[in-house]
Amino acid sequence: MYEIFKNMLNGKDYELVDILNKIDEYYIKSKLSKEQKEELEEEARQNANPVNSYADVQTQINDLASRISALEAKVNNQEEVEEPTESGSKYNKEDFKPFATVHGAYDCYNIGDKITENGKYYIAKQNGVAWPPSVYKDAWEDVTDSVLKESE
């Protein structure tokens, strides 16, 4: 069993949490020694492809804490709320990118991210948004009426 796990880990095509659970399962069934289990867990963590795996919970918590601190600092340093431009629009059309499919936690949309979908303009109201406004409208603010159009 040990060799099968080694081969899987060398392929780097696995979801980290799943493979760690399998290693634990085979250790509990006494099909892996404690040393083999520890070695496989270490190798699994080192070889994990971020595209296939989310960061561990503590890493995610640390990332969120640093983002919150950065946002708090930004809010505390901001003297004025963003005011509309002379034309009455708050946002430039060029700042919005078409919604792109999310593949994992590493490329989710976060508060303030600007996207377009079906000719409308949206800003993310939450962190970790993986779905477009047409699927999960509560995570997005429709700002279409506040976008500076090309003709202006």
pTM for the whole structure: 0.43
| Each residue's pLDDT tens digit, 73-98 | 777 765 444 544 445 567 888 889 99
User: CB of 114 within 8 A of CB of 123?
Assistant: yes
Q: How confident is the model at residue 113 (pLDDT cuts 50, 70, 90)?
A: very high
Measured CA angle at 84 (ends 83, 87), to 5 deg: 155
Over the chain, what is the mean pLDDT? 82
Asked if residues 110 and 128 have their Cβ atoms less than 8 Å apart, the reply is yes
| pLDDT value of position 79 | 47
pLDDT, average across residues 143-151 = 74
Say if residues 8 and 15 touch (Cβ distance below 8 Å).
Answer: no
Residue 105 pLDDT class (50, 70, 90 cuts) = confident
Average confidence (pLDDT) over 23-38:
93
Distances 80 to 75, 84, 101, 134, 145 between C-alpha atoms, Å: 10, 12, 34, 32, 21
For 115, residues 6+ apart whose C-beta sits below 8 A from its C-beta are: 96, 97, 98, 99, 109, 121, 122, 123, 124, 132, 133, 140
To the nearest 10 degrees (0 to 180), the angle between helices 2-11 and 16-28 is 170
pLDDT beyond 60 at 151: no
Beta-carbon count within 10 A of 114 CB: 18
- Residue 43: C-alpha distances to residues 5, 13, 30, 38, 112 (Å): 10, 13, 20, 9, 37
